[in-house]
Amino acid sequence: MKIRIDKSACVGNARCAAISEVLFELDDDGYIAVEEIDVPEGMEQLARRGARSCPERIITIVEDDAE
């Protein structure tokens, strides 16, 4: 599973990081720091919750079989 993020559309709500700071790392200004994340095994539910928490809907979950 991967997470893809439209980093340029991030407005800094940081709701994703509130779900998992490990998966959704923020930069010094409070915006998402990366555009793609390989989700470690066992963290899939946190990835989905973090994506759902984004009010701008800029976080997309890409299942391994969808690539």
Residue 52's CATH number: 3.30.70.20
- Say how far apart CA 67 and CA 17 lie, in whole Å: 25
pTM strictly above 0.85: yes
| 10-61 pLDDT, tens digit each | 999 999 999 999 999 999 999 999 999 999 999 999 999 999 999 999 999 9
Question: Domain total for the chain?
Answer: 1
Domain that holds residue 53: 2-66
- Specify whether the CB–CB gap between 36 and 4 falls below 8 A: yes
